[in-house]
Amino acid sequence: MRTSFYIKTFGCQMNERDSEIMAQLLIQHGYAAMAAEEADLIILNTCSIRAKAEQKFFSLLGSLRQEKRRRPGLRIVAAGCVAQQEGEHIFERMPHVDVVIGTQQFWRLPELLQRLERGESKREIACGLDKAFVIPPFQKLLHDAPPQPSEFRKFVTIMQGCDNYCAYCVVPSTRGREISRPVADILEEVQLLVSRGVKEITLLGQNVNSYGTTNPVAERPVSFAELLQRTAAIPGLRRLRFTTSNPQDLSTELMRCFRDLPNLCPHFHLPVQAGSNAVLKRMNRKYSRELYLDKVAELRSFRPDITLSTDVIVGFPGETEDDFEQTMSLLETVRFHGSFSFKYSDRPGTRSLHFPDKVDEQTKGARLERFQARQDEISLERNREFLGRSVEVMVEGRSESGLQGRTGSNHIVHFAGPDSLQPGDLLMVTINHAGQHSLQGSMAD
């Protein structure tokens, strides 16, 4: 009987959260978490969003072949988005894998492992995606788990999947159709976490703005803004965040929450992807540059100090120099506090895979470099706006140089403080130095 496991997570917060659930399930079935070298079960929870993420997984999986030769009792599980996408093909490419388990099936992991242990099969695969899937009540699992004293912030899944079908994106095929989690389950989970000392919650979904509108499982559909209001009202919750949003679904009701809910952090991640309407159209994004800018202006009218971050893809098929200039000019107009930017990569099962006029690697590289260089300058200028200001910081941990914390606006702050300060504590820090990626300060009087 195998008793120890190690999980390596690739990709997004959604995957981190899924890994956490798998770990909890395994612990309840008698397994213990262990370092990779000692664990007799290794789970790779994979990401497929860009070609690079997938390559990382296959190269790690390749290196585990040796490890399995050395330790024949080792079991290897491929979970997550690449597992969902590749299914049986993973066994063909990597015969040393024992279990392939998809994004809606991972809660069945203990059952599949038991079948292997009992010798009922040599390999297991579970990759079904069902549009009528009901997200299991994970809060029940949490209930049975011992409280973790060090945990001060947690992710809570509110929906799974995506119905947007952006031309470049694997998510609709790797995570299925959009499914909202029942509101009662979400609130119960947040309440439980807060009662255990968690101070910050991030509500997670691929498209949180459309919470409750697709496949609503509540008796009465609840909008995302209402869900935010009800979550924010849970006593003891100090900070509330959410990710990710789509501009076209961003309602005034939701924007108003940034004015009205004091514990809703003033940071908004609003992926724009491109500044040119022609590119946005080919990407099947359902908004224009103008609509995006209007949403930003409206958001700022409710919360002038809100910080904005975004995602950008450069070199989408057919992107001309002029299209790219429009992405640069959008960056100048919005002056994002930060952004995640990527070179377009072809993904299996997406529409853009078959688009003509692919942009060459060199051009993509040059555009990415230009975008990132300008973003870095703007981030520094934006960070300098904090100089001399006192901001509320939540302690996250300690580094060699002192304490590290985060502002509600999502800026990392380094500062000196007493040993008595613990992760999750809140205090005021006066900012006296601004770098490109973080701020420095000292405890305010």
Site residues (vs ligand 5AD, CB under 6 A): 49-50, 168-169, 271, 273, 311, 313, 342, 344-345, 347
Query: Segment near ligand SF4 (CB under 6 A), from 8-16, 267-275, 286-294, 383-391?
Result: 8-16
Q: Other C-beta atoms within 10 Å of 194: how many?
A: 19
The answer to whether 14 contacts ligand SF4 (rule: CB under 6 A) is yes
The answer to whether 11 contacts ligand SF4 (rule: CB under 6 A) is yes
Judged by beta carbon, residue 80 or residue 405, the one nearer ligand SF4 is 80
Judged by beta carbon, residue 206 or residue 263, the one nearer ligand SF4 is 206
Alpha helices in 108-201 (DSSP H): 109-117, 138-144, 171-175, 183-195
Distance of alpha carbon 320 from alpha carbon 367, whole angstroms: 11
The answer to whether 12 contacts ligand SF4 (rule: CB under 6 A) is yes
Question: In which region does residue 176 sit, left (phi positive, over 0), alpha (psi from -120 to 50) or beta (all else)?
Answer: left
Q: Other C-beta atoms within 10 Å of 438: how many?
A: 14
Give backbone dihedrals phi and psi of 52, rounded to 5 degrees, phi first: -60, -40
Binding pattern to ligand SF4, positions 55-94, x when CB under 6 A?
-------------------------xx-------------
Query: Segment near ligand SF4 (CB under 6 A), from 6-14, 120-128, 348-356, 413-421?
Result: 6-14
Residues 6+ apart with CB under 8 A from 346: 51, 352, 353, 358
Judged by beta carbon, residue 271 or residue 405, the one nearer ligand SF4 is 271
Q: Which residue is nearest to ligand 5AD (CB)?
A: 311
Rg, C-alpha atoms of the chain: 23
CA 192 to chain centre: 22
Query: Which of ligand 5AD, ligand SF4, none does residue 276 bind to, with CB < 5 to 8 Å depending on kind?
Result: none
- Partners of 407 in the beta sheet? 393
Binding pattern to ligand SF4, positions 36-55, x when CB under 6 A?
-----------xxx------
Query: Which of ligand 5AD, ligand SF4, none does residue 345 bind to, with CB < 5 to 8 Å depending on kind?
Result: ligand 5AD
Distance of alpha carbon 76 from alpha carbon 61, whole angstroms: 9
Residues found near ligand SF4 in the complex (CB under 6 A): 11-12, 14-15, 47-49, 80-81, 170-171, 174-175
